[in-house]
Amino acid sequence: MVPQQKSIEIDEGWNDLARARGGSQMAWKALFEEHSPRLLRMTALMTGSADAAHDCVQETFVRALNSAIHHHQGSLRTYLSTIAYRLALTERARRNRLGAIEELDPRSPDPSPLDNAIANEREREVARMLQALPAHFREILILRLHGEHSYEDIADITGLPLGTVKSRIFYAVKAARLEMKKRGMR
């Protein structure tokens, strides 16, 4: 009996990245338009600053274009999120050392339906509630809810075991509900 080989499905995003590295302006623009709004929301919530989020997203794409990765395992989306996540953590630590946390404003420069929803006072209160959670809960919830990542992707991005990710999401949701209740939110 001959063992079956697994077919490896390559994420089309890797091909777009290769074309962007080769100088294709269209591929670069498509990558940026597809991934930057999600990365911007995620990094803004993690750093507490729209300006810092813009810097993290720009640096994410610079690093992706200049990196010398030779594999195409996983999705480009997860790869970009991992870079942005680590940059946001570094920026947040730097800002905390400097004591210069700006007021949270996670809106992107181009208003989208999501940006309009965030402008709503209830959404701002949810963002404030997220900032009140302990960092290990906040980061996991931001990756799950605003980064729209699966548990497996979050484990890859953070370097945590899958079971720890699941546990933290469970307890993060529980803590978020308690915080919302304290704030009089439903």
pLDDT digits over 58-93, tens only? 999 989 888 877 666 678 888 899 999 999 988 888
- pLDDT band at 143, cuts 50/70/90? confident
Angle (nearest 5°) at CA 177 between 172 and 181: 145
On whether both 146 and 83 belong to a single domain, the answer is: no
* pLDDT at residue number 6: 43
Higher pLDDT, 32 or 8: 32
Last-in-domain residue among 104, 124, 149? 104
On whether both 29 and 73 belong to a single domain, the answer is: yes
Range of the domain at 18: 11-104
The CATH number given to whatever domain includes residue 175 is 1.10.10.10
Chain centroid to CA 123: 18
On whether both 98 and 135 belong to a single domain, the answer is: no
pLDDT digits (tens, 9 = 90+) for 11-27: 677 888 888 888 888 98
- How far apart CA 161 and CA 12 sit, in angstroms, is 27
* pLDDT at residue number 113: 60
The CATH number given to whatever domain includes residue 41 is 1.10.1740.10
**In the predicted structure, residue 36 carries a pLDDT above the cut 70:** yes
